[in-house]
A and B are shown apart, each in its own frame.
Chain A
Amino acid sequence: MIDIKNIHVDIGEKSILKGVDLSLEKGKVHVLMGTNGSGKSTLTKAIVGHYDTTVTKGEIFYNNKNIVELSPEQRALEGIFLSFQNPIEIAGVNNAYFLRTALNAKERFDGKKETNAASFLRLMKKHVSQLGMHQDMLIRSLNDGFSGGEKKRNEILQMEVLQPDLILLDEIDSGLDIDALKAVADGINRMRDGERTFLIITHYRRILDYVTPDYVHILQDGQIVKSGGFELVDILESQGYQAIQKDI
């Protein structure tokens, strides 16, 4: 699905990723953990082509194609989705209009017929209801005035509508109460079909009580230092990052 090979990424003058090698197996749920500032968010930003990041070395192969030179919108149309840690508020852009524009863009790219307004409305009602969101969130401006939980649910709503193949979830669990966490986890599990690939960035295991990962990777100082199974989460929870020894 995605092969990241010796990627070096700068933000401004600062070198953040210093040779990351990471393969995400298709259809699996991968978890990325690491200390603050280790480069987790930078990695997801580099994958989606965020303007902050400069890839100075290395390659990102997605479906056997190097995507480093692709524009962010092209990467999204290819099926890469990032749920932002802090979803941006855009006053004046209607949430439903935004979502339908994005969905229609994806449908055009895939050579499919565009979803019409009535079908889109039905689709929205279904997803909004599943996520326990208020229907009026569709007529509100995009994330504008949303609570932290509402913003995260809205990210999951977008994921479910756009049906991407590679899903990057950057601290999707931060700031969520129990109900919101369950709703978000349910959304992820609904999308988990053995074909889609997930990379969940988190600091805590609580979301992993609802979404069982296949692999866990540890990022420290801009490099993947360890990959393994759920046992790594247990080690981190009980002993902290000092207990993780770098794989040679």
Chain B
Amino acid sequence: MDTLALIDTTHPLYSNFDALGVPNTKTEQYKNFPIKPILAREYSYNTESNLTPNAGTNLVMHNGMLLEYPEEIDIKFNEEFHTDKEHFDSLYFMSHMLSTTVITLKVHKDCSFEIQHTLCEQDSLTAYRIALEVDENIHVEVFESFQTDKSSQAFTLYGLDVHVSNNSTLRWIRNENRADKETEVVGSHKFNVAKQATLVLHSFDFGSASSLHLYKIDLAQYASCNASHLLLSDKDARRGNVVHINHNEAHAKSTQEARSILKDNATGIFDAKILVAHDAKYASASQNSKAILLDEHAHMYAKPQLEIYTDELEASHGSTIGTLDEDALFYLLSRGISMQESRKMLVSAFANTLIDNIPNQEYATKIHKEFENSL
């Protein structure tokens, strides 16, 4: 049956979903991502779950089933976790309603761990959510990666509900390097960043698979969010991020930097809105999107937006879309470097800024390598 037929209309979140409606091509965040045919496709509904995972070092999800969890972290299943009733995305509510597994992680000390998603289903719908609560005054790093294997006509609807408590820092690195055809991933997420807490969000989307991540990030007083998004897509991929950052209280700070490289017929999406509420005085907000189109039919949809309801703030936004810099390309060619190598060097240079921002060298090296292989 199709996805919509699976929804329980008596679910407590149904009214929130219904108020936003089923997304279609007119829905702002899905204008360039074909959600309607994905939802209309016939799937088998994957309801398998595993309540006896192994303790290990990482969180390993296999088709939505938890196989391993980091033993240093408190973990619970299907526990009530705060749901954001104000989320802008109806698929956020849909994923909550359809998720057979909700994993709740509670982190009480400084740590670093990985979340590994393996998707290898065919003609199936997999829905699950991960909730993470970071305790006060700690630093946490999460490296999230995706692996697909013989997956086709599959739809993974997952999401994160994250709370970063006062004075804590969460660095979240999402590395989604997927080239599989007809396997879509939609992640609809909520990050709540409490007083004087920091969220550092890095997203890396490489390959020809289609996926869309939608983030709602709420900032409290003196909270900050530094988000960077690197996209490298080819073939017929539609990839990108929809990010709403809300400055709800005074002195919050946010920066967003998106860099996209599109090849073949790929479409990149960067739809970002920073909202500064009336009481969120002394905010600092900046957005920047740069895209390079390497082929004639590549397309970038960039929409950086600021919605401001206070006078006392610093804010800026900008967007550029172009091809490789001809002067830079010629400079390299004039030293005998081949056209192919020169283009590769310039594309890497464009991307390196965002990869080099990852302090963990092991992860930075891994992403560098995957980026080079995807070029």
Chain A interface residues (CB < 8 Å from chain B): 48, 50-51, 71-73, 76-77, 81-82, 84, 87-88, 90-93, 98, 101-102, 105-106, 109, 141, 158, 162
Nearest chain B residue, comparing its CB with the CB of A102: B335
Q: A residues within 8 A CB of B332?
A: 90, 93, 98, 102
10 smallest beta-carbon distances between A and B, as pairs: A92-B349, A76-B336, A102-B335, A72-B333, A92-B352, A77-B336, A73-B333, A93-B349, A88-B331, A105-B336
Chain A residue with minimal CB distance to B353?
A92
Q: Is B10 an interface residue, CB under 8 A from the partner?
A: no
Query: Which residues does B use to contact A, with CB under 8 Å?
Result: 325-328, 330-339, 341-342, 345-346, 348-353
CB A101 to nearest CB in B, in angstroms, measures 6
Min C-beta distance of B140 to chain A, whole Å: 29
Report the minimal beta-carbon distance from A142 to chain B, rounded to whole angstroms: 8
Of A82, A91, A106, which contacts B349 at CB under 8 A? A91
A77 nearest in chain B by CB position:
B336
A51 contacts which of B326, B338, B341, B348 (Cβ < 8 Å)? B326
Q: Tell me, in angstroms, the Cα distance from A62 to B336 when the chains sit together.
A: 16
Contacts A51-B326, A105-B338 given: A76-B349 contact, CB under 8 Å?
Answer: no
| Chain B hits for A98, CB < 8 A | 332, 335, 337, 345
Contact B336 A109 (CB under 8 A): yes
- Please name all residues of chain B whose beta carbon is closer than 8 Å to the beta carbon of A71 when the two chains form the complex: 333, 339
User: CA of A109 to CA of B325 in the docked complex: distance in angstroms?
Assistant: 26
**A211 CA to B290 CA in the complex, in Å?**
45
Q: Are A76 and B345 in contact (CB under 8 A)?
A: no
Interface of B: prevailing SS: helix
Highest count of chain B CB atoms <10 Å: which of A50, A51, A73: A73
Q: Are A92 and B348 in contact (CB under 8 A)?
A: yes
Between B336, B342, B349, B351, the greatest number of chain A beta carbons within 10 A of the residue's beta carbon is seen for B336
With CB as the reference atom, state the residue of chain A lying closest to B348: A92
A-B contact pairs, 7 of them (CB 8 A): A72-B334, A73-B339, A76-B336, A90-B349, A91-B353, A101-B337, A102-B335
Cβ A92 vs Cβ B350 within 8 A: yes
Contacting residues, chain A, for B348 (C-beta < 8 A): 92-93
Scoring A48, A84, A92, A141 by chain B CB atoms within 10 A of each residue's CB, the highest score goes to A92
* B326:A101 contact, CB within 8 angstroms: no
Q: Which residues of B contact A106 (CB under 8 A)?
A: 336
Most A Cβ at <10 Å: residue of B326, B332, B338, B352: B332
**A84 CA / B341 CA spacing, docked (Å):** 21
Min CB distance, A103 to chain B, in Å?
9
B351 — nearest CB in chain A belongs to which residue? A92
**Taking CB as reference atom, which chain A residue is nearest B347?**
A92
Inter-chain contact B331/A102, CB cutoff 8 Å: no
Say yes or no: A73 contacts B353, CB within 8 Å. Answer: no
Q: How distant is A172 from chain B, measured CB to nearest CB, in Å?
A: 15
